[in-house]
């Protein structure tokens, strides 16, 4: 907690709040502050100012309709652990002057617990179920800044961008799926600024660890249910076969070495699996039986960048193709250029973002890519799987400064440049 705490032990909170108000007002006025804001705060204020938000007013945070909030609750993996989070954090919140909030990955508040008095104050601030608390919506706040930084954040008083939020502290930490690394949402504890206690940070950290541990157990239990539901059929199946769940996670394998995940199976399309070639998924119990249609030939894939990125197999087999986001096409292009050694998360972060500080974002992005292409991409390190060859049909436009082969002067993958022209992605690209 020490690395992201907003205050040091023994700090006079009232006096510190007064100093932060002067820092806030000076920075926003373009003057020299009495002390420098913390780095995480300075970065956030810079992002928010670039968005044109006004610190003097309450920026828009109209909550989503209840039906949409309810839908988001039902589809969120955090629904599996929401009751446990409420048990751990809800009782202290009711007895104390703070709120417990759980958001989804979009920063939308899905669940909120706390004393009636503090909930009433939060209502006046728009800190309610269905409200979107990203930096772009409400300025610097622990939830939005934790999402932007992909790291835990604690903010105190005037470290918040909006003046209306200065009477508050907030402590937030992201929750990631322990298997895929996907960002699922944020746990936040907020309350009146002058009631901030050093234990709050540890409480939030404990809640995140509990949530991720329970999600791991849910994942393991789900795979066990898939295995049980298919036990009889698997006993009668001969030859190489995989049994996977609805997200492509492997519950059972026979005659094939697949690490952990394949493309998400669907009944209306073939699945490309390294070592098995093209396979037909069949619904079996609570999972999918995946068997090869023929010999496990090498997979010859083509990344077409002439328009919106598309990945297709060049085997002539029933038109296997899948559209890709611009970011996913960039990842595949980098892995293709890296060859068999592959790339670490830090190296991929440097190539995509210009530094090695976005490893969490990279892991989540590759997890989303593997939902689409499955075992064509492996992990530890990230690379194209054995038996997969990839050719690239390049875009007719090359970015300035993009060296042939996508390498820097020292031969490494070129970092922090747009590998694909801006027009080559879809509207939904990241």
CA distance 138 to 158: 14
| 359 and 401 share one domain | yes
pLDDT above 60: residue 325: yes
Does a structural domain hold residue 8? no
Does a structural domain hold residue 5? no
Confidence of residue 397 (pLDDT cuts 50, 70, 90): low
| 283 and 352 share one domain | no
| 170 and 255 share one domain | no
Does a structural domain hold residue 205? yes
pLDDT tens digit string along 12-64?
Answer: 999 999 999 999 999 999 999 999 999 999 999 999 999 999 999 877 678 99
DSSP H helical ranges for 64-141: 66-75, 82-85, 91-95, 116-125, 135-138
Does a structural domain hold residue 42? yes
Does a structural domain hold residue 228? no
| 45 and 71 share one domain | yes
CA distance 221 to 276: 27
**pTM passes above 0.75:** no
Does a structural domain hold residue 136? yes
Instruction: Return phi, psi of residue 412, to 5°.
Output: -85, 165
The CATH number of whichever domain residue 189 belongs to comes to 3.30.450.40
Report the domain count for the chain: 3
| 257 and 351 share one domain | no
| 24 and 123 share one domain | yes
| 86 and 181 share one domain | yes
| 35 and 122 share one domain | yes
| 118 and 206 share one domain | yes
pLDDT tens digit string along 142-169?
Answer: 999 999 998 999 999 999 999 999 999 9
Helix (H) or strand (E) holding 378: strand 377-378
| 264 and 304 share one domain | no
pLDDT above 80: residue 3: no
As a whole number, mean pLDDT of residues 97-123 equals 92
Does a structural domain hold residue 56? yes
Range of the domain at 362: 300-424
Q: Which of 166-175, 339-348, 351-360 has the lowest mean pLDDT?
A: 351-360
pLDDT tens digit string along 348-360?
Answer: 999 998 888 788 7
344-357: buried (b, 16+ CB within 10 Å) or exposed (e) per residue?
Answer: bbebbbbbbeeebe
> Other CB atoms closer than 10 Å to residue 17's CB: what's the count?
21
| 43 and 171 share one domain | yes
| 317 and 273 share one domain | no
């Amino acid at each position: 907690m020490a690395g992201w705490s907003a205050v040091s032990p023994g700090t006079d909170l009232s006096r510190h709040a007064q100093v932060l108000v002067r820092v806030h007002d000076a920075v926003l006025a373009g003057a020299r502050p009495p002390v420098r804001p913390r780095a995480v705060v300075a970065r956030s204020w810079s992002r928010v100012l670039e968005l044109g938000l006004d610190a003097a007013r309450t920026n828009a945070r109209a909550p989503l309709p209840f039906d949409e909030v309810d839908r988001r609750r039902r589809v969120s993996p955090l629904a599996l652990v929401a009751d446990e989070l409420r048990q751990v954090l809800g009782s202290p919140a009711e007895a104390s002057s703070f709120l417990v909030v759980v958001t989804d990955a979009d920063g939308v508040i899905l669940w909120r617990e706390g004393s009636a008095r503090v909930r009433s104050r939060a209502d006046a601030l728009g800190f309610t179920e269905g409200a979107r608390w990203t930096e772009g919506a409400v300025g610097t706040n622990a939830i939005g800044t934790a999402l932007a930084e992909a790291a835990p954040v604690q903010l105190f008083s005037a470290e918040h961008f909006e003046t209306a939020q200065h009477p508050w502290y907030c402590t937030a930490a992201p929750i990631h799926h322990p298997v895929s690394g996907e960002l699922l949402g944020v746990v936040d504890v907020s309350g009146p600024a002058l009631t901030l206690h050093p234990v709050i940070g540890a409480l939030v950290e404990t809640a995140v660890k509990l949530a991720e541990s329970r999600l791991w157990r849910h994942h393991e239990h789900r795979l066990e249910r898939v295995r049980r539901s298919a036990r009889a059929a698997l006993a009668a199946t001969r030859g190489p076969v995989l049994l996977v769940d609805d997200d492509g996670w492997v519950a059972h394998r026979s005659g094939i070495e697949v690490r952990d995940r394949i493309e998400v199976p669907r009944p209306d399309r073939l699945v490309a699996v390294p070592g098995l070639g093209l396979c037909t998924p069949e619904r079996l119990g609570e999972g999918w039986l995946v068997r090869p249609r023929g010999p496990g030939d090498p997979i010859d894939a083509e990344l077409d960048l002439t328009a919106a990125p598309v990945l297709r197999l060049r085997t002539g087999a029933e038109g296997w193709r899948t559209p890709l986001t611009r970011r996913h096409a960039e990842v595949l292009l980098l892995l293709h250029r890296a060859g068999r050694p592959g790339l670490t998360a830090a190296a991929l972060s440097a190539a995509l973002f210009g530094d090695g500080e976005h490893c969490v974002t990279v892991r989540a992005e590759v997890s989303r890519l593997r939902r689409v292409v499955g075992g064509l991409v492996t992990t530890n390190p990230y690379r194209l799987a054995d038996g997969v060859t990839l050719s690239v049909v390049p875009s007719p436009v090359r970015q300035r400064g993009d060296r042939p082969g996508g390498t820097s002067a020292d031969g490494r993958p070129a970092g922090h440049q747009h590998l694909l022209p801006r027009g080559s992605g879809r509207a939904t690209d990241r």
